[in-house]
């Protein structure tokens, strides 16, 4: 009898693990070199900052490759990215109350 209850207890864990894996795999964001070359450096750096946990390894490599091609890095755009992030957070926190 205890063996049966143990197997039932394992089912939710297996389901949770498979769900987490599916969310992780589906949550990876990918960008092609063509998409990145069409973006401004500020946009690329903002994307890297905002999507960092969701970026696939290929996307991270593509972003770094595009920045190297431009002979630039995100440290040069940190002020603009921080400003954009602050504006985004303000809109998320306060902007929706005025315009639902």
SS3 of residue 72 by DSSP:
coil
> Higher pLDDT residue, 1 or 55?
55
| CA-wise closest residue to 78 among 36, 56, 49 | 49
C-alpha span between 35 and 66 (Å, rounded): 10
Kindly state the percentage of the chain with pLDDT values over 70: 67
Domain boundaries, the chain: 30-98
Cβ-contact 62, 36 below 8 angstroms:
yes
Q: Which of 1-5, 7-11, 24-28, 87-91 has the highest mean pLDDT?
A: 87-91
The Cβ of residue 87 has, within 10 Å, a number of other Cβ atoms equal to: 11
| CA-wise closest residue to 77 among 51, 23, 41 | 41
Q: What is the pLDDT, as a whole number, of residue 4?
A: 55
What is the value of pTM for the model shown? 0.66
Tens digit of pLDDT for each residue in 12-36? 544 444 444 444 444 577 888 899 9
Tens digit of pLDDT for each residue in 38-60? 999 999 999 999 999 999 999 99
C-alpha span between 86 and 50 (Å, rounded): 12
Rounded to 5 degrees, φ, ψ at 55 are -75, 135
pLDDT at 96 over 80: no
In this prediction, residue 3 has a pLDDT band, given cuts at 50, 70 and 90, of low
């Amino acid at each position: 009898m205890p063996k049966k209850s143990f197997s039932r207890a394992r089912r939710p864990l297996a389901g949770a693990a498979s769900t987490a894996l599916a969310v992780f795999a589906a949550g990876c964001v990918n960008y092609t070199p063509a998409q990145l070359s069409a973006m401004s450096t500020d946009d690329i750096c903002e994307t890297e900052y905002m999507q960092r946990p969701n970026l696939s390894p290929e996307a991270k490599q593509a972003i770094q490759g595009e920045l190297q091609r431009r002979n630039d890095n995100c440290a040069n755009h940190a002020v603009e990215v921080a400003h954009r992030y602050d504006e985004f957070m303000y809109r998320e926190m306060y902007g929706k109350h005025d315009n639902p």
